[in-house]
């Protein structure tokens, strides 16, 4: 299949492909997504085959309004309305009880559904013009770092999708915070730009984190797979003297180091792979450990998360 990369003025073509049941790649403020309309089961199945995604890993559904989200949720908790009004549109996905008409393929057979209203204007326009919520995982091959620009999405999906909308670099650069409101207590399933503390402040309630014990139930299927990993080995270094180079990411680049920040982390991983680096060293200064979202991605990339 020939892949066209177009600018957002050609959104009409994306709408047409989606209406015909062909998944396409679109920009969001977190990372690029590979989307399909949620009620087109054949199109949603294509997402799994294009990415090589395990079929037990559910997808996040993208909506363009709170009302659209409400049409997908059974038993709406007041905490959802409170948080959605505060943080949407934005990098926060909620796991909630799904209405029975949601296709099983979207939720990977779970009774719950993950929903997010992105803030990227192109993503919002696309969802509105298609007239349907879009199921969209990150637009990478399963296991690779999420793409944060059209070029990185094309590196993985060229020839596998009909269209990529180039909306420029994703502003946030890591995937959304995932919060479950379907468990007995609000549970943080994936840390992201919106922090646990910010959520707790609005909710006026404690948020729990899933137990890391190997015997604990898996609340979010995605967390059991190795993720965000470049080909190069990722080595986390806590002591500056132990850095060897040549490929070092650091929050305070000195000589020859590259900047470590959320927005460019995944693109730096891909750049390092293009240069065929064997090892990427990350200098974890003491402050980095206070950034739960960044630390989560670094640990996963190093194979320890």
List, in order, residues 6 or more apart from 123 with CB less than 8 Å away: 26, 27, 28, 29, 33, 62, 167
Residue of 10, 221, 236, 292 that binds ligand TXA (CB under 6 A): 221
List, in order, residues 6 or more apart from 36 with CB less than 8 Å away: 18, 21, 22, 23, 43, 44, 46, 47, 134, 135, 136
Whole-angstrom distance, CA of residue 203 vs CA of residue 207: 9
C-beta separation of 88 from 66 below 8 A: yes
Whole-angstrom distance, CA of residue 63 vs CA of residue 113: 12
Residue of 84, 122, 136, 164 that binds ligand TXA (CB under 6 A): 136
Identify the CA nearest to 83 among candidates 71, 74, 75, 95. Answer: 95
User: Is residue 116 within the footprint of ligand TXA (CB under 6 A)?
Assistant: yes
C-beta separation of 172 from 264 below 8 A: no
What string marks each residue from 35 to 54 as x (binds ligand TXA by CB under 6 A) or -?
Answer: --------------------
Residue of 23, 27, 33, 147 that binds ligand TXA (CB under 6 A): 33
In the bound state with ligand TXA, the residue whose beta carbon lies nearer, of 40 and 191, is 191
What string marks each residue from 241 to 280 as x (binds ligand TXA by CB under 6 A) or -?
Answer: ----------------------------------------
User: Is residue 170 within the footprint of ligand TXA (CB under 6 A)?
Assistant: no
Residue of 132, 148, 176, 187 that binds ligand TXA (CB under 6 A): 176
On the CB side of 120, CA atoms within 13 Å amount to 27
Whole-angstrom distance, CA of residue 251 vs CA of residue 290: 13
| CB 34 to Mg ion: min, Å | 9
Helical H segments across 146-217, by residue range = 150-157, 196-203
User: Is residue 222 within the footprint of ligand TXA (CB under 6 A)?
Assistant: yes
User: Is residue 284 within the footprint of ligand TXA (CB under 6 A)?
Assistant: no
Biggest CA-to-CA distance, the chain: 57
In the bound state with ligand TXA, the residue whose beta carbon lies nearer, of 40 and 176, is 176
User: Is residue 68 within the footprint of ligand TXA (CB under 6 A)?
Assistant: no
| CB 137 to Mg ion: min, Å | 5
Q: Which stretch binds ligand TXA (CB under 6 A): 3-11, 13-21, 133-141, 238-246?
A: 133-141
Residue of 37, 137, 147, 167 that binds ligand TXA (CB under 6 A): 137
Q: For ligand TXA, how many residues bind (rule: CB under 6 A)?
A: 29
Distances (CA, A) of 259 to 46, 276, 281: 36, 19, 12
In the bound state with ligand TXA, the residue whose beta carbon lies nearer, of 140 and 250, is 140
What string marks each residue from 178 to 217 as x (binds ligand TXA by CB under 6 A) or -?
Answer: x----------xx---------------------------
Cα 197 to chain center, whole Å? 20
In the bound state with Mg ion, the residue whose beta carbon lies nearer, of 257 and 268, is 268
Residue of 112, 132, 148, 250 that binds ligand TXA (CB under 6 A): 112
List, in order, residues 6 or more apart from 237 with CB less than 8 Å away: 243, 281, 282, 283, 284
Helical H segments across the chain, by residue range = 11-19, 41-51, 66-70, 78-87, 104-107, 121-130, 150-157, 196-203, 262-274, 292-301
Interface residues toward ligand TXA, by CB under 6 A:
28, 30-31, 33, 57-60, 93, 95, 107, 110, 112-114, 116, 118, 136-138, 175-176, 178, 189-190, 220-223
């Amino acid at each position: 299949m020939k892949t066209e990369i177009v600018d957002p003025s050609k959104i009409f073509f994306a709408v047409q492909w989606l209406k015909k049941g062909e998944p396409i790649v679109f920009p969001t403020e977190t990372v690029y997504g590979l989307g399909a309309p949620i009620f087109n089961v054949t199109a949603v199945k294509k997402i799994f085959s294009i990415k090589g995604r395990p079929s037990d890993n559910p997808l996040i559904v993208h909506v363009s309004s709170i009302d659209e989200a409400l049409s997908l949720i059974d038993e709406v908790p007041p905490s959802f309305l409170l948080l959605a009004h505060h943080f949407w549109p934005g990098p926060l996905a909620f796991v909630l009880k799904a209405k029975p008409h949601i296709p099983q393929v979207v939720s990977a057979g779970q009774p719950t559904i993950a929903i997010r209203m992105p803030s990227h204007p192109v993503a919002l326009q696309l969802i509105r013009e298609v007239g349907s919520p879009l199921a969209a995982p990150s637009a990478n091959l399963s296991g690779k770092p999420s793409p944060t620009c059209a070029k990185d999405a094309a590196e993985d999906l060229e020839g596998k999708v009909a269209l990529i909308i180039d909306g420029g670099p994703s502003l946030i650069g890591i995937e959304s915070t995932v919060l479950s409101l379907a468990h007995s207590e609000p549970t943080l399933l994936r840390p992201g730009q919106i922090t646990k503390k910010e959520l707790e402040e609005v909710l006026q309630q404690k948020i729990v984190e899933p137990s890391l014990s190997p015997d604990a139930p898996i609340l979010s299927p995605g967390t059991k797979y190795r993720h965000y990993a470049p080909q190069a080995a990722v080595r986390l270094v806590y002591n500056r003297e132990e850095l060897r180079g040549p490929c070092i990411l650091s929050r305070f680049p000195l000589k020859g180091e590259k900047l470590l920040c959320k927005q460019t982390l995944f693109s730096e991983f891909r750049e390092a792979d293009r240069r065929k680096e064997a090892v990427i060293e990350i200098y974890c200064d003491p402050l980095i450990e206070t950034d739960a979202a960044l630390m989560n991605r670094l640990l996963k990339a190093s194979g320890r998360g």
